Structure formats: C-alpha cells, structure tokens
C-alpha cells in the first residue's frame, strides 16, 4: 500500500510507517492511500464471524492489514491486542451499540481512558509509535492541537512511552474544567501542555506552520497525532465497520451515520469506509453554530472563518472554522486531481472557494451520500433533556448535536441512523446542569480528577515562541 499527497499525487509514494511518523506531506498536503482497498462480500462475511468470536481488536487488525504492508501481520495483531483491552476500555465490546428510539441508535465511542471518542485512535497510535520508533532506534516529539478531547486522549496514550515527548497546544480558557483537569493534571516528564492565546484554529495553524518548516521538523523530529495523521483515520474506520456488523444480519443491508464534527476527521473515516464498499447509506454532518461544513454541504461554498468569527459554544470540541481533514474529501471529490486541490486550498486566505457551479457538487449526495444540518445551544439543551427524560439516557452536548441532526434527517433517510457518541457527559457538567437541572455523576474511574494540580505553560499566539519552547524543553528533558 502506497500513500500520496492530496497536493502532489505525482510525488514519490510513501509507505505507511513513514507517514505514521511524519504527519503532513512535505508539500503541505495530507496523505491518503493511492487507492482504497475494496471490501467484497466474502470479506464482510468473514469479519462478521470474526467480530462475534474474537472481538474488536481482532477486527481492527484485519482492517489495518489492508492499509499496512511494512509491518508484519503478526505484529499488527499484537499491536491491536494491546491497544483495545478491557483494562483500557470500560466495556468489553470496546464499542457497544444501543438503541435509543425507533430508527436511531447510539454508537458508544467513549469507553476509553479519557471518556472521549479520540481514545479509539489514540490508544492505537501510542502502540504504533512506540513499536516503530523502537524498530528504528529513534525518538519523536509529538506536536498537536486540541479543542478539548484530542489532547487528553493523546497524552494518556503517550505518557511514559519510550522515545516520545508530547507538546499539546490548547486554546486558553476555551475548554471545560474537566477537560483542562484531565490534561493539565498530568505531571509526566514527557508531557508538555501549552495554553495558547486564541481559539483552536490558531493552535492548529501553529501546528501546521511548525510542521511545514522542514528544517525544524527534521532537526527536532516533530510528529503529529492530530487527524492530519492518516493513522488516526485508519483507526476510526474500524468502528464504522464494527457498528455496521452489529446492526445488520446480511451484507445487503445499509445503515446511516450522524456524526458531530468540526474538523471533519471522524466523518472522513466514515467516508473512506463507504468508499471501500462498506454498505453505508448516508453520512450526516452535524455541526454546531460554527457551521462552515454545513454551509458547504448546503451551498457548495467553503468559507473558513477568522478566529474572531469562531463562536465559543456549549459543544466546544466543535468550535472549529477550518476543517483540516476536509481536504481529503475534496481530493476524492476532485477525482484525485491534486493540482485542483492545491489551487482550491490556496484560496483559503482569500476567503475560501465555491463549488456551487461545479457539476461535481451534484455527486456529494448522490455518489458520496453526504447530508448536513446545524444544531444550536437551544437545540442541544432540548435534546439532552428529552433523551434523559424519555429514555433515561444522558448524552453530552456534542452527541446531542448528532442526535438532533439525525432526527432532523430521519424523514428523508430510510435506513437506521447511528449517532456516534463523542464523549461522556461528565466532561461538560455546566451544560448538562443547564439542560436537566443537575450535574452528571462522575464515574468512579475519574474520581478526584478535578482536584489535581495543573501543569501548563501560557504562550502567545506566535510560531517562534512555540518553537523556542520546544527547543528548550527537548534540551532539558530526556526520553527513555
């Protein structure tokens, strides 16, 4: 399996373990497989039995083998077996699926160590990074940005691992107290938290700027865990497959997904699963008030917004106005025309681009199955309250956005819709209390997390300041 850049598909293809450690392509593009593997009837039938008899980790290994040919198959199986265990995940199925109401299900992705769906990919990345760095006798300094959950998931997955440091940028004051406590409470010598002035998009821009500095990146061995890293999406494909297998009895049945998203990573994995041939009907993009993606799928106009135009909402992990993974979908929409992708994304500084007049926009729903809608603060409060009162189920604000959009689309979708859960409600106590009148219970495994001492460095929104912090921290700390 070879990998190519969304901005230069003619460049020398890369192998999986190279892009695993590298993040962005040298030209600033994102890596994708040169072609998607195809799922045939026999494979889906075999996977149905495999999931039932051997579980999620075994299924994950088979999906990964389709995308990785430079790690031995037996090592991939060992890696997934270590990543997805009952010691790390609170449910033995790893990703259980439950019925909420007729035609609507919840895919529970928040059973991991930080109670967020990001654990599904990060636990795998931790194993992959440590494995490959040991093979190469190298070290790596991970640079990431988080709007809430990526940071804690990455840090919990990487803490104490050999050869790895983590530098995580967060938008100062933009995360909930629980999210901050999970991250800033860590005192491991290989973990560095940075609170940056601005919003998530500013943090993400700094990560891209540092990663685009080839000399700095090489000298300081900079790697990525954000969803610009292909391995994140590859890991997320697995739960689309497992969810489909659980809700169907035959390979001709389809289901749909409603996915709360700001950075287009979670739903991009669903798009790739659908391109592989997984029988997915619709992929519903659920946004909050920062509805850049909904605008695109409704009008064909992609207009990333400035930091000053990005709202602080009650579903903060989606307070994003420049969706990094969106470029991967546009590459597919442009039928692999890297030159066209490069041209379009070069227009972002001029306000964005429009495909409204492009005939390919007609393919967005017909061929790729996308739909979208926006949820507001009032919508998510009403949804949280309704789901709690009618079904005794408590969902977090982001998942509420997904449920709201799923219900909005249900009249136009003939297949069961699975809303992918984003996090446990405990991470957003203030909004939950506003919706139902009481704060959510703190699960026993998170007792005392709010009482931890914080370890975080405040920095200005400045690329050079972040680079200097990284240099100094590398010089002053050793990794095993």
pLDDT in tens, 285-327: 999 999 999 999 999 999 999 888 999 899 988 988 889 899 9
For residue 341, pLDDT beyond 90: yes
Q: Which of 181, 274, 256 has its CA nearest to residue 415? A: 256
CA-based end-to-end distance of the chain:
32
**What size, in residues, is the chain?**
480
Whether 85 maps to a domain, the answer reads no
Mean pLDDT lowest among 6-10, 147-151, 427-431: 147-151
Whether 92 maps to a domain, the answer reads no
Taking CA 221 as the corner, what is the angle to CA 216 and CA 227, rounded to the nearest 5 degrees?
A: 100
CATH code of the domain containing 366: 3.40.50.1100
Q: What is the pLDDT of residues 226-242, one digit of tens each?
A: 778 899 999 999 999 99
Average pLDDT over residues 89-94: 96
Torsion of CA 403, 408, 412, 417, to 10 degrees: 0
> What are the backbone dihedrals phi and psi of residue 107, each rounded to the nearest 5 degrees, phi first?
-95, 110
Query: What is the per-residue pLDDT for 446?
Result: 85
Q: Which of 343, 339, 23 has its CA nearest to residue 212? A: 23
Whether 91 maps to a domain, the answer reads no
**Percentage of residues in the chain with pLDDT exceeding 90?**
78
Torsion of CA 459, 460, 464, 467, to 10 degrees: 20
Query: What is the per-residue pLDDT for 21?
Result: 86
Query: What is the per-residue pLDDT for 445?
Result: 83
Active-site residue numbers? 118
Give dist(CA 289, CA 310) in Å, integer. 9
Query: What is the per-residue pLDDT for 430?
Result: 94
Domain carrying residue 394: 97-113+230-436
Average pLDDT over residues 168-197: 91
Q: Which two tokens stand for residue 210?
A: 């540092």
Give dist(CA 8, CA 25) in Å, integer. 9
For residue 154, is it left (φ>0), alpha (ψ between -120 and 50) or beta?
A: alpha
Q: Which of 328, 339, 341 has its CA nearest to residue 275? A: 328
pTM score, whole prediction: 0.91
Q: Which of 43, 420, 50, 58 has its CA nearest to residue 255? A: 420
Query: What is the per-residue pLDDT for 409?
Result: 97
Average pLDDT over residues 94-115: 96
Whether 121 maps to a domain, the answer reads no
Query: What is the per-residue pLDDT for 12?
Result: 86
Q: What is the pLDDT of residues 355-375, one digit of tens each?
A: 988 888 878 878 899 999 999
Query: What is the per-residue pLDDT for 480?
Result: 62
Whether 465 maps to a domain, the answer reads no
Strand 104-107 vs strand 417-420: parallel, antiparallel, or unpaired? Answer: parallel
Q: How many domains does the chain have?
A: 1
- Neighbouring C-beta atoms of residue 468, cutoff 10 Å: 12
Query: What is the per-residue pLDDT for 362?
Result: 78
For residue 447, pLDDT beyond 90: no
Whether 61 maps to a domain, the answer reads no
Whether 8 maps to a domain, the answer reads no
How far is Cα of residue 269 from the mean position of the Cα atoms in its chain?
8
Query: What is the per-residue pLDDT for 174?
Result: 85
Whether 183 maps to a domain, the answer reads no
| DSSP reduced 3-state for 255 | strand
Query: Is 155 exposed, middle or buried (CB count within 10 Å of its CB: 0-12, 13-18, 19+)?
Result: buried
Residue 116: band (very low, low, confident or very high) from pLDDT cuts 50, 70, 90: very high
């Amino acid at each position: 399996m070879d990998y190519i850049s969304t901005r230069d598909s003619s460049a020398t293809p890369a192998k999986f373990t190279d892009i695993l450690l590298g993040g962005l392509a040298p030209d600033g593009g994102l890596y994708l497989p040169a072609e998607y593997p195809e799922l045939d009837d026999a494979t889906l039938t075999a996977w149905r039995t495999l999931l039932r008899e051997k579980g999620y980790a075994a299924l994950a290994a088979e999906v990964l083998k389709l995308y990785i040919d430079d790690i031995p198959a037996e090592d991939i199986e060992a890696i997934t077996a270590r990543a997805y265990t009952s010691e790390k995940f609170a449910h033995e199925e790893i990703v259980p699926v439950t019925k909420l109401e007729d035609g609507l299900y919840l895919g529970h992705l928040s059973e991991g160590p930080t109670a967020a769906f990001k654990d599904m990919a990060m636990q795998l990345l931790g194993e992959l990074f440590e494995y490959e760095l040991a093979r190469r006798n190298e070290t790596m300094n991970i640079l990431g940005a988080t709007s809430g959950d990526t940071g804690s998931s990455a840090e919990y997955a990487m803490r104490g691992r050999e050869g790895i440091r983590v530098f995580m940028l967060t938008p100062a004051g933009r995360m909930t107290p629980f999210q901050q406590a999970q991250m800033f409470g860590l005192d491991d010598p290989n973990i560095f938290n940075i609170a940056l002035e601005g919003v998530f998009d500013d943090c993400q821009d700094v990560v891209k700027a540092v990663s685009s500095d080839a000399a700095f990146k090489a000298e300081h061995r900079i790697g990525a865990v954000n969803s610009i890293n292909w391995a994140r999406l590859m890991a997320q494909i697995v739960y689309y497959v497992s969810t489909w297998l659980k809700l169907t009895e035959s390979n001709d049945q389809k289901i749909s997904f409603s996915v709360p998203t700001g950075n287009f990573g979670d739903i991009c994995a669903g798009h790739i699963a659908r391109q592989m041939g997984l029988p997915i009907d619709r992929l519903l993009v659920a946004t909050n008030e920062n509805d850049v993606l909904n605008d695109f799928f409704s009008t064909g106009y992609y207009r990333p917004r400035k930091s000053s135009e990005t709202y602080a909402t009650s579903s903060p992990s989606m307070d994003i106005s420049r969706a990094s993974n969106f470029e991967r979908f546009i590459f597919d929409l442009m039928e692999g025309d890297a030159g066209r992708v490069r041209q379009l994304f070069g227009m972002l500084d001029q306000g964005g681009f429009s495909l409204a007049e492009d005939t390919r926009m007609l393919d967005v729903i017909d061929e790729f199955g996308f739909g979208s809608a926006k949820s507001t603060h009032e919508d998510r409060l009403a949804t949280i309250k309704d789901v709690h009162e009618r079904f005794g189920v408590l969902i977090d604000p982001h998942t509420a956005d997904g449920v709201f959009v799923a219900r909005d689309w249900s009249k136009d979708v003939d297949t069961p819709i699975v809303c992918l859960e984003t996090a446990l409600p405990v991470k957003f106590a203030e909004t939950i209390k506003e919706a139902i009148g009481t704060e959510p219970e703190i699960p026993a495994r998170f007792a005392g997390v709010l009482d931890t001492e914080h370890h975080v460095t405040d920095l200005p929104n400045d690329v050079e300041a972040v680079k200097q912090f990284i240099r100094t921290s590398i010089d002053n700390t050793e990794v095993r």
